[in-house]
Amino acid sequence: MEMNSTINNKWRFCTFASFIGCIILLFCLNQGQERVKLSTLGNIGEPMALHNDSDQHSAANIQLLQPSNTIEYGKEINVEEVVDDGCNIFDGKWVYDPMTSPLYNGSVCPFLSDQVSCQRNGRPDVEYQKWSWEAKGCKIPRLNSTDMLERLRGKRVIIVGDSLNRNQWESLACLLYTAIPSSQAQVHVRSGVYKVFRAKDYNCSVEFYWSPFLVELEVNGEGGRKILRLDKLSASARKWHGADIMVFNTGHWWVHTGKIKAWDLFEYGGKVVEKMEIESAFEIAMKTWAGWVDKNVEKTKTKVFFRSISTEHKGKQWCYNESKPSMDDQSYASTFPHSIVEIAERTVGGMGAAVTYLNITKLSKYRRDAHPTVYTAKQGKVLTPMQQTQPHSYADCSHWCLPGVPDTWNRLLYASLVFDNSRDAFTS
């Protein structure tokens, strides 16, 4: 009897141990499945790889770019959330936003010029990259590069104007480049006068054409003198035809004087004159451009933008050694002639719905911290250490570091496209 009892106790113990073992095994299997699920979700949420064969990127840098490559606004857009006919996306404030800014890492853009590659040129601070523009009274969609590429599928974008529009082209090309494999991107650069970025899978292109006056400047005119032809568009205009999105600017070169003035003579109506009020010459040129748009742009197919003056920071508002935006509306007094701005606004306003005025002047005026200053290139050469110690002679307070302010210009360009499409959907 004692032996049978001992055997029974052992069987009970084995049965109990087996039962406990089964529970433990089932628990482990379940945890393994959960780990698989979590791992899968982690892969979905990881930032898109940045493609540049010559660069190795740290995990910190890749993580920094994650927000621009996840579908926050690229998903099905809530029309009721973003559509507000009373919203002015150009009026607002800069907000420190290190979690989502900048929108890309400048080191992944192999075509970024030395003129605006501030980090590559030795700028020691990065805080200027971490500010985001917020509009008053509405939400601006964050620029999603993949969504923008989808919107541009099969389309041409042309950006025409001076070096500030070239600044904008470099920004937009970098924004789109970070969203695709490098093997699917083509970049062709011919000095500073023509640049094109193509995304092959999307069959789209972003092209830059150098034309600081929009009208023709003949550099070897009568007697070797430079003639600004006010009633004739620049030669590159023949390549503007057929574009789906056009972004123009002019104004900065019109106010140059002395040695940096680009022309010697004006020509208008077949007559060559040496002297003319700049406002009169500028207005004739703007009307020449507006006439071309009215005559050559198919308004149901093409969206035309005219970008406003990009603020310089010179004199009392000097940009050197600034590290954060100004928050005071009264702290900046523009040195740019108001008459030129007024003519541009009047011309664009008179074109009705044909042209959208991309008014980036106010948001740019707060950002004297975001210029290249001495971390730039002059005449194609990066400033030497000795030149960097002479900011009064070499600081660039006109162009913008990238990543930087022009990314916001392109974000507002993107927002304009989103809002237009959303309104169409909302009203159809």
Active-site position among 162, 369, 396, 407: 396
Question: Is 163 one of the catalytic residues?
Answer: yes
* Catalytic residue from among 163, 236, 308, 422: 163
Rounded CA separation 193/195 (Å): 7
Could you identify the residue written with the tokens 């005026």? 365
CA end-to-end span of the chain: 91
Which one-letter amino acid corresponds to residue 238?
R
HEC letters along 314-359: CHHHCCCCCCCCCCCHHHCCCCCCHHHHHHHHHHHHCCHHHEEEEC
List 252, 313, 371, 399, catalytic entry:
399
Rounded CA-CA distance 79/147 in Å is 15
371 is a catalytic site residue: no
List active site positions: 163, 396, 399
